Structure 1
Amino acid sequence: MIKKVSMITPEGMRGRYALVEFLTWLPTGLMIAPMVLLMSVRGLDVAQIGLVTAAYSITVVALELPTGGLADVIGRRTVLAASAVFSVAGLTMTALAGSAWMFLIASLLKGVARALSSGPAQAWYVDRLHALEGPAADLKPGLAAGGAAGSVALAIGTLTGGVLPLLVSGESLAVPVWAGGGAALILLFTVLLVMREPARQVRPRLADVLRDVPVTIGGGFRLAVRDRGLGRLLLVAVAAGVMLNSIELLTPGRLAALTGRPETAGTIYAIVAAAGFAANAVGSAIAPAVARAVGGSMRAVMLATVFTAASVGALAASVALDGVAGMVAAGAAYVVLFTGLAVSSLFRNELIHQRIVSTQRATVMSVDSLQLQFGGTVSSLVLVPLSAQVGAGGVWAVTAVIALSATLLYVRLPAARAEVPVPVREPQ
């Protein structure tokens, strides 16, 4: 019998992963600009908008770990395809919604979609690359391509979502949402087409899935506790969550104070946010070169973390400036910050993947995402309210110290254990 040779190359796998990441984040980008305005023009007050937004966040947090465990049990492709289905349903209902309860249901559907999409694509890519090149495969080029593709999608989506309502008449604010639904539908077909996985020898029954998911989640937590190095790497996500939430919640108010008009501030913030996503893409793209220049991933992640913390400090210092100078300084700090964050995030993900086996990969990535959400919650409850007393600059200064302290978690990081490769049959 002639052995069938796989035609899939590492470069081809990298391209597939980048395409999936782009389509995963494009619907989110298209929603950013019109979402709050759409709810407002359809009759929701501020309290109702807050409830709808909170429902999304609570759904994501509640399902983050179960969906990660599900991806490890039944497969990454199936879970990401289900995410696309929920995204199409949630965006369609959002576009059609005319009441608070309809927006609430749509928010729950989108929360399920987000939780399902957290981790499977990256876990799939790492598993496939390991199957092609072994556990020592260089993850940096692929993780860089995926990170850059996701950031480009967010940048393009944000700008497109802001421009589309200006180009059409009637219910113009719903147009970007319909576009997001279309992008999610394309994601569904793309996932089914390009995300090939090894054939499972035994197709799991529902009872087996319900039993194995909690076991997988528990195994992921035990691994994080037992492996002190992995625990440290996951703790870095808490600091990142604190930083991102503080910046995203306080920057619009800071720009409003500089411009004197909320409408103008909204436009400027959309531009700044898109520039931040673009900077994130640049950071992801240059990360492998940074590692080569400084002599390895560990040095690169520490330098990038210090660089990011310094950028937050510069953002804090920018509050001393007024008018155009203040806006330019804040925008520049924002762009530099997200460039450094992309570099540090890529290398941290690489270090995490070096410590986990395939059967726990999506679960651990969900734990990581949960840590990020936890950091954002801490920021919302503690630091953001503090801005009423010390101002945005004071909160950002504290945030810079927290971000800088995350560098200590990399110092003398325990060595990773070697992953035992699991034999798989490579799909065509």
Structure 2
Amino acid sequence: MTLPSPRSARRRYALISFLTWLPPGLTLAPMILLMTERGLGLAAIGLVTASYSATCIALELPTGGLADVLGRRAVLAASAAFGLAGLAMLAFATTVWQFLAALSLKGVARALASGPAQAWYVDALHVAEGPDADLKPGLARGEAMGAVALCAGTLVGGLVPPAVPEQVITPLAVPVLAGAVASAVLLVAVLVAMPEPPRPRPTLTGVLRDVPATIGTGLRLALRDRGLGRLLLVAFAIGVAVNSVELLTPGRLATLSGRPESGGTVYAIVAALGFAANALGHTLAPAAARLLGTSARAAAAATVVTAAALGALAASVALSGVPGIVAAAVTYVVLFAGLSVTGLLRAEMMHRRVVSTRRATLMSVDSLQLQLGALVSSLAIGRLAAPAGTAAVWTIAAVVLLVSALLYPHRPRGRVPAEDPQPVR
């Protein structure tokens, strides 16, 4: 099967990115509220959401290895199928065990989706234009479309339920069912729009042998290439920062708005503004790299801006009412715009340090680092938020992110290596 032209690959990657992130966007605002409405307390909700994170962490590396061994299309199609099943179950779940199963299926879908589409696009561009192809424009378009999907999905998920008659269906379940439909569309799109070169027919013995070997090689690569290792440590810092914002902002906005119900709507709007800024940041990232001379410099500068925005969010805790909400919205816009510039340029630098047969595994290692940062942040917030306050938690996260700006490698990698690279300082 022939891979598409560079122009066609960019369009297809953008479509797949949009459809991949639309289901999470649709379920972001209503999911916790749906669990609460169906009788789950805070402890049960914490258990359910922890099952999602635990599933992601456990499967990140095996699913990345599968994508490198079995192919990107097969793994991403499996992700869409698991996402469809998980969201369909979530819409009708009524007990803790049903919610646990639904979130676990969502976790499997998320782990399977971390890397295959981006790896497919980079492979297609390298086949068409060679190892020196400029990855930034296509990656920017794809990541921007993913952010647009999150923005649109969050708005729909937050604004549609109040307009749905309760006699027809539970209003909060409507965006979740829409997410299941979007997952079905993603499944079809992946099978149609992601052609891959023929691969040898896999056997169970071969998969059991090759996947662990691929994972091991990917981990050794990250340890040997010091530049790559530093880029992966940045993901840990980003996980700490983003998780602290996502966990504490809803409660902060609910307090500012005066009511939990209005707080949910305000959060949906503020989060949507952040995702819109995320899309804009991805679009501007190539220009930022040209302006500052290298991707590493631009990524480091964007990290500093993001840390400053998080510090400003901490300072905004002193405000109340509408001024506090406006301050949160403005800092969200700057914060997520900076994160998107950093994320895209960091991805480009990592792709230039790895061969095709390790590409999806590397993306899974990166996602694992992000999840570990989020896990550490969750544990720390549980201990710090009550005695120290929201501002203190955000300040610590801002400092962690600021320090990570020092991790970007100073020596750029200009060509994708033919084999696993030697250490690079």
| Cα displacement (A) at 1:392 | 1.2
Matched, 1:244 2:250: no
Does the 8 Å contact 1:229/1:414 carry over to 2? no
Does the 8 Å contact 2:352/2:413 carry over to 1? no
| Cα displacement (A) at 1:37 | 1.9
2:130 corresponds in structure 1 to 134
Q: Counterparts of 2:171 and 2:324 in 1: how far apart (Å)?
A: 33
The one-letter amino acid paired with 1:187 is L
Alpha carbons of structure 1 residues 95 and 259: separation in structure 2 relative to 1, 3 Å: closer
1:389 corresponds in structure 2 to 387
Matched, 1:113 2:109: yes
Does the 8 Å contact 1:249/1:384 carry over to 2? no
| Cα displacement (A) at 1:413 | 4.6
| Cα displacement (A) at 1:7 | 8.6
Q: 2:148 aligns with which of 138, 147, 152?
A: 152
Alpha carbons of structure 1 residues 60 and 353: separation in structure 2 relative to 1, 3 Å: same
Q: Counterparts of 2:419 and 2:46 in 1: how far apart (Å)?
A: 47
| Cα displacement (A) at 1:291 | 1.7
| Cα displacement (A) at 1:46 | 2.4
Q: Counterparts of 2:273 and 2:264 in 1: how far apart (Å)?
A: 14
Q: Counterparts of 2:86 and 2:305 in 1: how far apart (Å)?
A: 38
Q: 1:21 aligns with which of 17, 20, 31?
A: 17
2:220 corresponds in structure 1 to 222
Alignment of 1:131-210 (within 5 A): 131-169=127-165, 170=167, 171-200=170-199, 202-210=200-208
SS in 1 for 2:20: helix
SS in 2 for 1:172: coil
| Alignment coverage as a number of residue pairs | 417
The one-letter amino acid paired with 2:189 is T
| Cα displacement (A) at 1:374 | 0.7
2:423 corresponds in structure 1 to none
Q: Counterparts of 2:189 and 2:32 in 1: how far apart (Å)?
A: 29
SS in 2 for 1:218: helix
The one-letter amino acid paired with 2:51 is A
1:342 corresponds in structure 2 to 340
| Cα displacement (A) at 1:417 | 6.6
1:11 corresponds in structure 2 to 7
Matched, 1:36 2:32: yes
The one-letter amino acid paired with 1:175 is V
2:79 corresponds in structure 1 to 83
Does the 8 Å contact 1:316/1:397 carry over to 2? yes
Q: Counterparts of 1:414 and 1:291 in 2: how far apart (Å)?
A: 12
Does the 8 Å contact 1:61/1:373 carry over to 2? yes
If the length of structure 1 is used for normalisation, what is the TM-score?
0.94
| Cα displacement (A) at 1:401 | 1.2
SS in 2 for 1:275: helix
The one-letter amino acid paired with 1:149 is M
| Cα displacement (A) at 1:68 | 0.4
CA RMSD of aligned residues (A): 1.8
Q: Deviations for 1:316-358, whole angstroms, at most 9, x for unmatched residues? A: 1212222221221121011101001100110000000000000
For structure 2, list consecutive stretches of 5 or more residues without a partner in the other structure.
421-425
Q: Deviations for 1:208-264, whole angstroms, at most 9, x for unmatched residues? A: 001111100000000001101100000000100110011111112222332332222
2:369 corresponds in structure 1 to 371
| Cα displacement (A) at 1:183 | 0.5
Q: 2:301 aligns with which of 300, 303, 309?
A: 303
| Cα displacement (A) at 1:415 | 4.7
| Cα displacement (A) at 1:36 | 1.6
Alpha carbons of structure 1 residues 421 and 191: separation in structure 2 relative to 1, 3 Å: farther
Does the 8 Å contact 1:134/1:421 carry over to 2? no
Q: Deviations for 1:45-69, whole angstroms, at most 9, x for unmatched residues? A: 2222222111111111111110000
| Cα displacement (A) at 1:311 | 0.8
For structure 1, list consecutive stretches of 5 or more residues without a partner in the other structure.
423-428
Does the 8 Å contact 2:3/2:197 carry over to 1? no
2:209 corresponds in structure 1 to 211
If the length of structure 2 is used for normalisation, what is the TM-score?
0.94
Q: Deviations for 1:51-92, whole angstroms, at most 9, x for unmatched residues? A: 211111111111111000000000000000011111111111
Q: Counterparts of 1:7 and 1:211 in 2: how far apart (Å)?
A: 28
2:292 corresponds in structure 1 to 294
Does the 8 Å contact 2:79/2:112 carry over to 1? yes
| Cα displacement (A) at 1:157 | 0.5
Does the 8 Å contact 1:250/1:384 carry over to 2? no
Q: Deviations for 1:72-122, whole angstroms, at most 9, x for unmatched residues? A: 000000000011111111111112223222222111111111111111000
| Cα displacement (A) at 1:173 | 1.6
The one-letter amino acid paired with 1:85 is A
Alpha carbons of structure 1 residues 100 and 130: separation in structure 2 relative to 1, 3 Å: same
The one-letter amino acid paired with 1:182 is V
Does the 8 Å contact 1:65/1:366 carry over to 2? yes
Q: 2:318 aligns with which of 317, 320, 325?
A: 320
Q: Counterparts of 1:371 and 1:403 in 2: how far apart (Å)?
A: 14
| Cα displacement (A) at 1:9 | 2.3
1:64 corresponds in structure 2 to 60
